[in-house]
Structure 1
Amino acid sequence: MSDITIKHVRYQNLGWETAADLYLPPGFDATKQYPAVVSTHPIGSCKEQTSGNVYGAGLAREGFVVIAFDASFQGASGGEPRFMEDPSIRVSDIRYAIDYLVTLPYVDPARIGAIGICGGGAYTVHAAITDHRIKALVSITGVNFGRLIREGFSNFQPVAALQAMAAQRTAEAQGSARQVINYLPASVEEGRAAGLTDIDVLEATEYYKTARGQQPNGATSGLFSFNSAAFGWDAFLHAEVLLTQPLLVIIGDKPGAFGAYRDGWEIHGRAASPDKQIYVAEGWSHYDLYDKPEPVALAMAQAVPFLQKHL
């Protein structure tokens, strides 16, 4: 990546610091002002994976300053207890990333956009609904975590799951060890042996659990007792009224259990944005869009001119 510069930064969040990577364009000149993009990673991921090394780097090469950050309680960012996946705080993380960007003299505060992948895509949508400093947004195979946890992640038994989480949180408050779950099997082979057949689960495992995408902080872990916060959350709440910025939704046409295909069409339909587009990458799946050169090139061919136009 000699054509771009990556700068490691830390900045204040609520009661802790966020760790982030700034991707600076080729020939970066600190005396100029650039359009900037906040890039938000998937659930269980980290800034060194698709949000940073793929889309962050790719957008920087096209002239954007990009910030890819680790979610609070995850990766190299602060916050306790570890491995919390609280949608409200994840959305707040995006706002704090914007707060940091607007302090940089080489960022034009009137030209800030946002992009997110998987759960990060839907978090980006939710952030843009109420933070209109985001002037344009791109959701790459975005997944509404609230819907997913009420459905597949709770085996379609959300009340039973909430009751189990309530009991576990009480036990932890009384001194029991934290229960950290792994969202994925240890390997594709282990998953198949357990009878798993869904394309999203198996391809996620192939991405996160092999050299293809594996990173030390890409833990694919969640704190079980704190996952209850997501059950009452909808990434697309009030999009029909408040999401007015230009919106680009990118999905693959191979649907899987995580639901990016259906969520993509849903937010495209619900958004109030006068300028909204949906692009379906034919022949490609959710996890192909994370890092495989051909589908990523298709996504970038849509995202780059869209962001250049609106930022």
Structure 2
Amino acid sequence: MQKVEFKNRNWNVAGHLHLPENFDDAQKYPAIVCVHPGSSVKEQTAGLYANQLAKNGFIALTFDASFQGESGGEPRFLEDPATRVEDIRCAIDFLTTLTFIDHDRIGALGVCAGGGYAANASISEKRIKAIATVVGSNPSRAFREANPMEVLKAVAQQRTAEANGNESLINNWIPDSADEAKQGGLEEMDLLEAIDYYRTPRGQHPNSCNKLLFTSMSNLIMFDAFHLAEYFLTQPLLVIVGDKVGGFGSYRDGFDLYNKAASTDKKIHVVKGASHYDLYDRPEATREALEHIVPFFNEHL
């Protein structure tokens, strides 16, 4: 694995380039951009899939979203869907500068919200030749279903306050512990599993600090990751979901993307007995996902 950097506008995006064994820079390799979930960083689940793809002969690029992790950009902890999609475009720009990448064999893989962002990029970014999502979600859908008008009003008030000298409001993505969640009456399966992944040694990383700039919420609510997919998402598509359905909605979103995409070569695979977060890192679930992902990219890249 190599540490790399590439530009998005005037800041650096920090990445890891996962290389196959016996890598030879005189050869041409297929490459896959691996996009992490919201609140995540490149070392977590996106890195797990990238590592396995590299073991199967692909070059895989992971990176921290702009404004987050080791990447640059201000304000910090901003989750801006348009910029996250632009990060993917910039990642592809970077790959095309590498002499050992076959420009005609670039794909994308996204996990959770990263799946939604990868799908959105693929709608208009035709350098992406094939796309796979793992528990891919439309990031806006859940936010739009939870008092969006009240949130938009609160964002408006916060922006006014900040324009007049108040400090930025930084919230947590999720509670910091299961006890904190339960004390607040929050015991939904996906939320508790998110805490178990992100806030315990299972998947915790110091750069994934559970911070979200509150004014991001208006962007998240208004962004439809699958907009115009029925017209322009024409690339081969593989959707992976788990059948233990939780409140985050990736099962529903996966079928929504599959049904909506214009692609004539599309598949959906349901991992039996797997939850959303099982497909982040649990060996049995991720192994089954990869048993479909690797042949898919071998066929189309």
TM-score by length of 1: 0.96
* C-alpha contact (below 8 Å) 1:184/1:201 kept by paired residues: yes
Distance of 1:266 and 1:120 partners within structure 2: 16
* C-alpha contact (below 8 Å) 2:151/2:217 kept by paired residues: no
> Which secondary structure does the structure 2 equivalent of 1:134 belong to?
coil
CA RMSD of aligned residues (A): 0.8
- More displaced, 36-45 or 224-233? 224-233
Q: 1:30 aligns with which of 17, 25, 34?
A: 25
Q: How does 1:1-311 map to 2 (within 5 A)?
A: 6-52=1-47, 54-151=48-145, 156-311=146-301
> Which secondary structure does the structure 2 equivalent of 1:74 belong to?
coil
Distance of 1:94 and 1:180 partners within structure 2: 25
Q: Quote how far apart the aligned CAs of 1:224 are.
A: 0.3
- More displaced, 211-220 or 295-304? 211-220
The total of aligned residue pairs comes to 301
Distance of 2:20 and 2:273 partners within structure 1: 31
Q: Quote how far apart the aligned CAs of 1:200 are.
A: 0.7
> Taking every aligned residue pair, what percent have the same amino acid on both sides?
51
Q: Quote how far apart the aligned CAs of 1:196 are.
A: 1.4
TM-score by length of 2: 0.99
Distance of 1:193 and 1:223 partners within structure 2: 24
* C-alpha contact (below 8 Å) 2:115/2:134 kept by paired residues: yes
The runs of at least 4 aligned residues of structure 1 exceeding 3 Å deviation read none
Q: Quote how far apart the aligned CAs of 1:231 are.
A: 1.7
Q: Quote how far apart the aligned CAs of 1:150 are.
A: 1.0
* C-alpha contact (below 8 Å) 2:240/2:289 kept by paired residues: yes
Distance of 1:195 and 1:158 partners within structure 2: 21
Give CA-to-partner distance per residue, 1:125-149, whole Å, 9 cap, x none: 0000000100000010011111121
Aligned residue type for 1:270: K
* C-alpha contact (below 8 Å) 2:88/2:118 kept by paired residues: yes
Distance of 1:219 and 1:109 partners within structure 2: 35
Aligned residue type for 2:26: T
Q: Quote how far apart the aligned CAs of 1:257 are.
A: 1.3
Distance of 1:57 and 1:137 partners within structure 2: 17
Aligned residue type for 1:122: G
Q: Quote how far apart the aligned CAs of 1:255 are.
A: 1.1
> Which secondary structure does the structure 1 equivalent of 2:15 belong to?
strand
Aligned residue type for 2:76: R
Distance of 2:287 and 2:49 partners within structure 1: 10
Q: Quote how far apart the aligned CAs of 1:165 are.
A: 0.5
Distance of 2:127 and 2:238 partners within structure 1: 17
> Which secondary structure does the structure 2 equivalent of 1:235 belong to?
coil
Distance of 1:235 and 1:297 partners within structure 2: 27
Q: Where in structure 1 are there 5+ consecutive unaligned residues?
A: 1-5
Aligned residue type for 1:132: K
Aligned residue type for 1:287: Y
* C-alpha contact (below 8 Å) 1:43/1:220 kept by paired residues: no
* C-alpha contact (below 8 Å) 1:84/1:227 kept by paired residues: no
